[in-house]
Amino acid sequence: MKPFQWSILFLFIIVLFSIFSQSNILEGFASSKFDSCRAKGYSKEFCVQTPTSAYGPSSCLCEDGKLGRFIPGFGGQCVCFDQN
């Protein structure tokens, strides 16, 4: 084999290795947050739901556990609505 062919083979092996070695799967909800959510008395179903799944990327979780929104002009604060 010529040196050029060895380098192509080497790059191919590196690409294959990098594709198959990506085992860092991150969950959207950290287990410590789940445990603290459960400790506050919320159900498992509530604690595994992320605000993003309900309202999209501009949603946030208020201190009382309700969903709020990040709205421009509020300095990055989570704006919570009274949902009666």
Is a pLDDT exceeding 70 seen at residue 31?
no
Cβ count near 51 (within 10 Å)? 19
Residue 28: its pLDDT value, please? 52
Average pLDDT over residues 55-80: 82
Is pLDDT of 55 > 80?
A: no
Q: pTM of the predicted model, to two decimals?
A: 0.35
Query: What confidence score (pLDDT) does residue 9 get?
Result: 92
- Mean pLDDT for the chain? 76
Q: Is the pLDDT of residue 27 over 60?
A: no
DSSP letters spanning 6-43: HHHHHHHHHHHHHHHT---PPPSS-HHHHHHHHHTT--
